[in-house]
Amino acid sequence: MVLLETRDMEYITVKEICERAGVNRSTFYLHYETLNDLLTECIAYMNEQFLRCMGKEKTEIVPRLRECPEDELYFVTPEYLEPYLRYIRQYRRLFATAVKHAALFRMENTYDRMLRAVFTPVLERMCVPEADREYIMSFYIHGLMAIIARWVQTGCKDDIEHLTEVIQCCVVRRTDSKAFERIQAEQ
């Protein structure tokens, strides 16, 4: 990750990574076929670390979905968003690389796992027909990722509270949010 702080992934070589880590190239290739495999593993590790730092395990979240207030089902409350956005800000170069190369990092596989493990219970509780679930989740996930990607591209310059309001405005159409009021005033 140190190398990503100084330049884009396209310009980082396996040789540089091995030199920085103090291992031989053969050791690298024993564990990874490509540089993308290493970065995919880094992203998976970071996602696990994020859940740990939030104190949220998947086994803890899924049962709670059956009983929590309906507004929490969108996962856009400050309780969920703010720690996530702080984490993204801290590792923005890695996230920028992941977003830029989403296909290489098999991000669609991550979304599919999220759909099955977390969002299916949410959509069931909201009585969304099974035939519509993949479309709705695709729209939801890609919309959130577009907002976050834009934020990362701008160097995470907007504060986290503002971004949380924007996401809430988009996802739950909160007409009482400051973001919605700002949008209305601009029109």
With left for phi above 0 and alpha for psi between -120 and 50, is residue 77 left, alpha or beta? beta
Higher-scoring residue by pLDDT: 35, 52 = 35
Q: Is 172 a domain residue? A: yes
Instruction: Identify the domain containing residue 83 by its residue range.
Output: 57-186
CA angle 50, 54, 58 (to 5 degrees): 80
Q: Does 21 fall in a domain?
A: no
- Residue 105 contacts residue 40 (beta carbons within 8 Å): yes
Per-residue pLDDT, 22: 92
Q: Please give the DSSP secondary-structure letter assigned to residue 173.
A: -
Look up tokens 């984490």; give the residue. Answer: 87
pLDDT in tens, 135-169: 888 888 888 888 988 999 899 999 999 999 898 88
Question: Is residue 152 in a domain?
Answer: yes
Q: Let me know if residue 43 belongs to a domain.
A: no
Assess contact for 53 and 87: CB atoms under 8 A: yes
111 lies in some domain: yes
Q: Choose among 80, 85, 94, 107: nearest CA to 156.
A: 85
Asked if residue 181 belongs to a domain, the reply is yes
The per-residue pLDDT for range 91-129, each reduced to its tens digit, is 888 778 777 766 655 666 666 666 566 677 778 888 889
Domains contained in the chain, number = 1
